[in-house]
Structure 1
Amino acid sequence: MTSFVTLPVELVYRIMDHVSDFTMVCSMKNACQRFSDIIETYPRYQTLTALDLGYYQIGDARLQHLADALRRNTTFTTLSLSGHSIGDVGAKYLANGLKHNKTLTILNLANNQIRAVGTRYLVNGLQQNKTLITLDLGSNQIGNIGARHLANGLRHNKTLITLDLGHNKISDAGVQHLADALRHNTTLTTLNLTGNQVGHIGAQHLADGLEHNTTLATLDIAHNQIEAVGAQHLADLLRHNTTLTELYLGWNEIGAVGAEHVANVLRHNATLTILGLENNQMGVDGAQHLANGLRHNTALTTLILEYNNFRAVEIQHLADVLRHNTTLTTLDVYGNRIGDVGTRYLADALRHNTTLTTLNLKSNYIGDIGAQHLVDLLRHNTTLTTVSIFMNEIKYATEHEINECIARNKKLR
């Protein structure tokens, strides 16, 4: 009887045609030297650039096989291992593979119970890696010590562009380490710190670290506790920083005072294009401050104001600005309470606006009367190509009429 390991290469190829990428890389690749050599010549393996193991259960043994594959593989550019609970031991295996890998550019290790020790292993691996540009460590447990390890790595790293550290129990002390590293780093363009424990002191550290940074373009610090004082620190940063283009401050309890700080800097800032201020309870005063800032701003294209409990009176201030604004293309007020009256204010203003293309009005207590204002608007406005009105109280016929107008506008683009 012919042994499985002595099968002709063509027959092995036919067998591999019916196995998953996961099995091929993590099991068959390391069965024996002959199989390993055959797989190296297998066409599907040679062209395999992305490996997503999000749906597979992978233990230490298979993870070690995968790490070994990373040492020699010359095709993988993307590896996703999110949600596998690989822990610090698994991080060590992967770090060893990264030391020798020369092709991987994106590594997703989100939700893997990696702590500070595992982070240190990964940083050590990245010191020798020259290709990785995106690292996702979101929803792990790296904490302040892990942030310090990453900061040490960022001081000298010349390739990493995107770093996701969301939901990692990082507080002001950890942010200080990262901010100090950003003084010296010249490649990172995107930093995600959402869902951590950053207060106004941490916001100050970030502002200080980014004062002279000329590469970071996107900062996400949503779902923290920076409050109005933290908003002031970041607003002060925007007075001098000319590279930051996206800033996400949602869910930070900045209130009307924080909105005023942000609005004041919008008068003069010429680089920020996307601003997220979700669920900050800014009230009437905050809405007015933002409107005043937008009157003089010529750069912002996207404004996100979800879940701010804005009613008609707040939205009126913003609507007045839209009459003459020539840069904003997206306005997101999802989850507010603008109602029919607030919708009328927006519709009246947008009759004169020729730049806004996307309007999100989901879940805003809008009835058929408010929806009819949108219909009347869209009969004349040919710029709006996306109007989201789900989760309101609009009759099907009126909703259908709105959608028909939007479809017409899309054809005209």
Structure 2
Amino acid sequence: MLCLTVCDRVYTYYTTHEENSSHEVDTMVLSLCTALKNIFPSVPLTRHIIRKVEIQPPKRMQQLEELERATLGGTRDMGPCGGFSTQYMCMCDYHALPYREEVAWDVDTIYLSHDTRELYLHDFDYLEQKDLIPIISALEYNTWFRKLRASHSKLSHEAIERILHVVSKSLSLEEIYLDNIGAKAEFANKLSLALLSNSNIPLQKLDLSHNPLEDKGAIHISNPIGRQAKGLSHLNLSHCGLTGKGVNMLAHSLSVNKYMCQTLTFLNLAGNSLRDDVNNLYNFLAQPNTLKTLDLSATECAIDALFGALLRGCTSSLAQLILSRNSFGSKKSREMLPSFKQYFTSTLALKTLTFSQCKLPSDALKNVLLGLACNENISEVDLDLSSNHLGATGAQILESCIHGVRCLAALDISDNGLETQLGPVVAAISKNKSIKKLNIGRNLNSIKSKHVYHVMEAVVQMIQEEDCVLESLFINDSRLKTDLHNLLNALGSNHCLQNLDISGNYMGDSGARLLAKALQINSKLQFISYDRNNVTLQGYSDIAYALQSNYSVKFLPFPVHDAMLCMKTAPERTENIMRRIQDILYRNVSPMKYSNGQAFRLQQGFLLSSTQQQVDRLVLQTGEVVRTLRRSGSDLGGSNSLQWVEGLIADADNSKQVGVGAGFLKLFILALVEVMFITLSLSFLLHLYIFLNFYLSTEHLRCF
């Protein structure tokens, strides 16, 4: 007798009393197991696929064991993406659903070309819900895909059940993204049971955000989180309708799991109500941990208790702290100030701090700035203080403190009602030579026109200073009209700004003309946002003409609002002008056009791997530099070396079909080094750095 249990189905076979029946059963067992092993080559046969085996006599089990040993650690080619297409075909047969060749082609071609390990169900949204079932089921024993994403999808009950089944069986899923799929507490309970039943799943990231799980669902999911064998690195339960009860249970699970403090780097609980007592969360944060990102925006959490916990456990690793849309009460602010300021003085890794829409009290603002000013261990910090209604009092604090906060790289003080006080604040910011990105938009909407001039003078003076380091300036939605002209005139000689947002200022065609003149002589600006400025076709025509002689601007977001108004009056002319602008931008982004089709292509029916594509890029870039050196006509004694490099480039181009060996890489790098020293070419230095960095990371140079 042979009894097999496969995928919860039992198959039983009996022998006859004929003499050769025993041999036939042996052959059947071997053939069946061989077929299964060919389809699922990387999964243990008798422990996972055939979970229960009963054979009479028991000695027939030796065939299965011998087959397992023979294939263990084998190097047989499994096909694209771990043999997904074959497994998908089997699952179609198992579920009695039609096999879709388009699905197999998408995975074997598109997924393979991008070398992606994430199966995204949105890629198959052209199918009916029932056709998703075999696609999901194919992940059950597939070891290529490490991630499953079903974000923002309305899944049928059957599809959700298959996801749960895969979670309960998979040996390879490391990341599961099920955000905004309409899951409720019942789903969380089933997911919890699936995770608990599969002790072998190497889960690292779990995203259940934007699902109405509520506290009941959080309590269910807390159980497997507390027992996760190796902890999690990413947990997102934002906007799940949780309260203090559910968060406390979740935080308790994080605390009791001894691995979480060492593995969890991302925690997002934004959009849940934490106004109640959440001491378990604060206790977890107070433990020494490795959190790098913490998002508690719109949670109404107690700021004083939070920063007390952060000071004890989150000073060494936390890089991104998001607390937007949390109100500061005056009483609470006085109680929290010691730990509040001390945290900013003590943090060692902070890179992003967001206090947007927090109604930040003046004392809290002062302590943030002074704390950061006293911290010499951090740099390149992005500080967001937007929409806090700072007013005149906040402006005075900014004016007196901001110049000393040398760790800042980006500052957002937009929508704070600074009005006439914005001028002195900008003057103070100009003294801080670490700030490279500044957003001062939506601060001048209520100011009288006669006062705008002084504010804009301060802005112009800031960007015209010889030692100005500002690279990005956002002054959008300020309704400046003609008051923007001084800034536009100053752009012509500006040597620092690369990104500029002047949208929503109603500058009109006169402003567009000044911008066009500036673009004809400016060689630094790369990004300009200029929609909602009442610009007509004449203004866009001026800009298009100016861009013909500008090779630095690469991004001009399409002015949807203004262009729609132009389309109503002259659609053909509008289309022509916009096409001219886009063509020029394409020219600036891609100054080198390769007509030989070398980059990113299919060659003779098979796809280039990511390594081969990297070699392709380097060959193209290095070849362009060699051609530039030859066109320059300068003879620095490097003619022979250039010929040698050209020969190696040709060899590299021909070798992409068979792979690149370490010996050839060594020759290619030596050639780059020799040409670099002969020509003193900075471009070659860059190419060499990229080349070495890439191949050292992939261990191609281990044999050197």
**Same-fold call, TM cutoff 0.5:** yes
Q: How does 1:344-363 map to 2 (within 5 A)?
A: 344-363=513-532
User: Matched residues in 2 for 1:150 and 1:383: separation?
Assistant: 46
Q: Which ranges in structure 2 are unaligned for 5 or more consecutive residues?
A: 11-46, 52-135, 141-161, 165-175, 567-573, 593-704
Alpha-carbon contact 1:323-1:352 (below 8 Å) kept: yes
Q: How does 1:203-352 map to 2 (within 5 A)?
A: 203-214=365-376, 215=378, 217-266=381-430, 268-281=431-444, 283-296=452-465, 297-312=467-482, 314-352=483-521
Which residue does 1:110 correspond to in 2? 270
Letter in 1 for 2:322: D
1:198 aligns with 2:360: yes
The CA deviation at 1:199 is 4.2
User: Matched residues in 1 for 2:343 and 2:502: separation?
Assistant: 36
The CA deviation at 1:323 is 1.7
Letter in 1 for 2:254: L
Letter in 2 for 1:320: N
Larger helix fraction of residues? 2
Alpha-carbon contact 1:98-1:129 (below 8 Å) kept: no
Find 1:166's aligned residue among 321, 324, 327.
324
Alpha-carbon contact 1:231-1:262 (below 8 Å) kept: no
The CA deviation at 1:333 is 1.2
Counterpart of 1:351 in 2: which secondary structure?
helix
Counterpart of 1:303 in 2: which secondary structure?
strand
Counterpart of 1:206 in 2: which secondary structure?
helix
Which residue does 1:150 correspond to in 2? 306
Letter in 2 for 1:358: F
Counterpart of 1:51 in 2: which secondary structure?
strand
Q: How does 1:19-30 map to 2 (within 5 A)?
A: 19-20=163-164, 21=176, 26-28=188-190, 30=192
Alpha-carbon contact 1:232-1:262 (below 8 Å) kept: no
Find 1:78's aligned residue among 202, 216, 234.
234
1:385 aligns with 2:571: no
Counterpart of 2:277 in 1: which secondary structure?
helix
Counterpart of 2:521 in 1: which secondary structure?
coil
The CA deviation at 1:25 is 9.7
Alpha-carbon contact 2:527-2:556 (below 8 Å) kept: yes
Larger RCO, structure (CA 8 Å, separation 6 or more): 1
Letter in 2 for 1:170: F
The CA deviation at 1:286 is 1.2
Q: Which ranges in structure 1 are unaligned for 5 or more consecutive residues?
A: none
Q: How does 1:65-104 map to 2 (within 5 A)?
A: 65-73=220-228, 74=230, 76-99=232-255, 100=257, 101=260, 102-104=262-264
Alpha-carbon contact 1:260-1:290 (below 8 Å) kept: no
Find 1:10's aligned residue among 29, 49, 60.
49
Alpha-carbon contact 2:469-2:496 (below 8 Å) kept: yes
CA shift digits 1:258-288 (9 cap, x unpaired): 233223431x321101111120006232112
User: Matched residues in 2 for 1:365 and 1:299: separation?
Assistant: 31
Counterpart of 1:111 in 2: which secondary structure?
coil
User: Matched residues in 2 for 1:336 and 1:288: separation?
Assistant: 17
Alpha-carbon contact 2:427-2:458 (below 8 Å) kept: yes
1:126 aligns with 2:285: yes
RMSD in angstroms over aligned alpha carbons?
3.0
CA shift digits 1:159-191 (9 cap, x unpaired): 222111100112565374523432333333321
CA shift digits 1:168-217 (9 cap, x unpaired): 11256537452343233333332111011124443223223222023261
The CA deviation at 1:123 is 1.6
User: Matched residues in 1 for 2:245 and 2:9: separation?
Assistant: 35
User: Matched residues in 2 for 1:390 and 1:262: separation?
Assistant: 31
The CA deviation at 1:353 is 1.0
Alpha-carbon contact 1:291-1:321 (below 8 Å) kept: yes
User: Matched residues in 2 for 1:6 and 1:262: separation?
Assistant: 72
1:405 aligns with 2:584: yes
Letter in 2 for 1:108: N
Counterpart of 1:79 in 2: which secondary structure?
strand
Letter in 1 for 2:374: H
Counterpart of 1:183 in 2: which secondary structure?
helix
User: Matched residues in 1 for 2:416 and 2:187: separation?
Assistant: 44
User: Which deviates more, 386-395 or 58-67?
Assistant: 58-67
User: Matched residues in 2 for 1:61 and 1:90: separation?
Assistant: 7
The CA deviation at 1:303 is 0.7
The CA deviation at 1:29 is 6.1
Counterpart of 1:300 in 2: which secondary structure?
coil
User: Matched residues in 1 for 2:499 and 2:254: separation?
Assistant: 40
Larger CA Rg, structure 1 vs 2:
2
Q: Residue 71 and residue 16 in structure 1: after superposition, are their counterparts in 2 closer, same or farther (change >3 A)?
A: farther
Alpha-carbon contact 2:360-2:388 (below 8 Å) kept: yes
Alpha-carbon contact 2:400-2:428 (below 8 Å) kept: no
- Identity within the alignment, %: 22
The CA deviation at 1:15 is 9.6
